[in-house]
Amino acid sequence: MRAPTPLKILAALALVGGVAPPAPAAVHTGLSDAGWSGMWLSGTTATDTTSVVTTLKQVRTAIGADTGTAAGLTGKGVGIALIDTGVAPVPGIPAAQVVNGPDLSFESQSPSLRYLDTYGHGTHMAGIIIGNDAATGTRGIAPGARLTSIKVGTSNGAVDVTQMIAAIDWVVKNRNHDPANPIRIISLSYGTGGNPAVWDDPMTLAVQQAWKAGITVVAAAGNQGNGYGKLTHPAQGTSVIAVGATNTYGTTTTADDELSAYTNLASNGRPLDVLAPGTSIPSLRVPGSNIDQSFPKARSGDTLFRGSGTSQATAVTAAAAALVLQARPALTPLQLKYLLINGTYLSKGVAATLGAKELNVSMALAGAAATGDGAIGESYGTGMLDTTRGSSRVSADGVTLSGQNTIFGPFDTTAWSTRAKAQTTWSGGVWMGYRMAGDGWTGSSYAAKTWAPATWTGGSWGGTKNWTDPGWSGRAWSGRAWSGATWSGRFWSTDDWSSARWG
């Protein structure tokens, strides 16, 4: 492998090292993050300021999206790819505006779980973006956008970094599947525990290829706290909009807004790009999902669920980006990024010290587009997957996936990087020679359009003869809620939300 070449800003931000994976456990049930950057808070005490709810209507006002030109924007004509835990067809999800791309999660092998959100995270994000809950009047920030859901996470969030890379590759390849609503944005509430050198990191290259294809990647900074010292990956790269969360204390003025204590800050000079409301946001609830069962006090009525995190802030930012692109469709990802980061200065606390700005759609609409290509160099993409994974490891029956391997087998990063740049990693439903999905839009689900599934052959790296999980037995979506026992399963992540706070 070549030695690193200075790559302008990219080289300056290069990180080295990684986090050694913890030892696998024999049994695991309940929630695990696998790199998901979300928290769910119930606000159980009167002194818990995070319990002050900020509705999506208040969020829209706070980010300057309900006055002037911005007030008439809905995101119509803009496609957003949500790479997450799937979307459940709860009443607040407008099914006609949802497209189910391939389900790349382990749960794709269960017809009763396929495409659907068993965790409860992805639906919460979708609600922030396009939701329309008649019961409460809650509407998403970009209710006219078209959402393409690519499910990668299971009921406990389990996902390997190679599944994430495959999902990003698929979005790049199929970004124009709906010419009237081309995918222009990826909302990525995922962050690995790795600390890779971005000059050779595969995840960095995958994100860069999306950026080069005209897709703005919005990534969560992580929830480990202001003193964590780094952003989660891929937010630590430069071909993304790295998003931190603010606490808006239930008001629409930005005068009292502060950087949330849970948002990651980096000590290597990589600043957050933008802040957005992300604390105690009510969005769509998935009854019977893992988080719904685990944190019942976070429920807000029958249809909503309160969550806090850079995940929520990322969804807000992705939706805001759709509003700007509706009005200014010729913007490149770089131009859109510069417009979005030029928001409202916050005057309190850590944010004031950092000179951080909060998202403001009206300011972005009025701003002048930057010139130049903003070239910063390109990752080779040939680095070690374990460095990218860091502590975010997926396990099957107690056996942790490691090395240069996908969930199916060997992964040649040199061959992948060449094909990623040529947008040829996918052929139909085959990614890098591994059958992950069907070959086109012939699947069926509640959504307007669905990519076909496929049966995975062989067994997992954990020694199983097939990909069936005994924990799937008896689980079914009734049309409004999940039925079945406590969520647990064969596939899980070695991360256990140790840095998150739960109500």
Tell me the per-residue pLDDT of 295-310, one tens digit each, with 9 for 90 and over: 899 999 999 999 999 9
Given 32, 42, 117, 121, the catalytic residue: 121
Selected catalytic residue, list 33, 66, 84, 386? 84
Residue from 37, 42, 300, 311 carrying the catalytic annotation: 311
Q: pLDDT category, 391, cuts 50, 70, 90?
A: confident
The contacts of residue 179 (CB under 8 Å, 6+ apart) are: none
Q: Which of 34-48, 59-73, 181-195, 458-472 has the lowest mean pLDDT?
A: 34-48
Angstrom distances, CA of residue 117 to CA of 16, 56, 223, 291:
35, 21, 22, 11
Whole-number pLDDT of residue 28: 36
Smallest Cα–Cα separation from 10: which of 371, 335, 379? 379
CA distances (Å), 413 to each of 4, 17, 212, in order? 16, 18, 19
Question: Which of residues 40 and 283 earns the better pLDDT score?
Answer: 283
- Residue 176 to residue 494: CA distance in whole angstroms: 36
How much is the pLDDT for 376? Answer: 65
Residue 334 scores a pLDDT above 80:
yes
Asked if the model's pLDDT at residue 489 lies above 80, the reply is no
pLDDT at 501 over 70: no
28 a catalytic residue: no
| Alpha carbon 221 to its chain's center | 11
> CA-to-CA distance for 101 and 117, rounded, in angstroms?
13
Could you give the CA distance from residue 355 to residue 342 in angstroms, rounded to a whole number?
11
pLDDT of residue 375: 55
Question: How many other CB atoms are found less than 10 A from the CB of residue 414?
Answer: 11
User: Distance (Å, rounded) from C-alpha 447 to C-alpha 149?
Assistant: 10
pLDDT on residue 264:
94
What integer is the mean pLDDT of 418-433?
98
Q: In what order do the strands lie in the sheet with 399-400?
A: 399-400, 394-396, 491-493
Q: Which of 37-41, 286-290, 449-453 bottoms out in mean pLDDT, i.e. has the lowest?
A: 37-41
231-274: per-residue pLDDT in tens?
A: 999 999 999 999 999 999 999 999 999 999 999 999 988 999 99
> pLDDT above 90 covers what percent of the chain?
75
Q: Give yes or no: 311 in active site.
A: yes
Quickly count: other Cβ atoms within 10 Å of residue 424's Cβ.
12
CB atoms inside a 10 Å sphere around CB 4: 15
CA distances from 175 to 145, 146, 320, 424 (A): 14, 12, 19, 13
Among this protein's residues, is 51 annotated catalytic? Answer: no
Instruction: Give the single-character DSSP code of 401.
Output: P
Cβ atoms of 157 and 32 closer than 8 Å: yes
What are the residues facing 138 on neighbouring strands? Answer: 133
In 10 A of CB 349, how many CB atoms? 15
C-alpha closest to that of 76 among 144, 158, 4, 13: 144
More confident residue, 102 or 19: 102
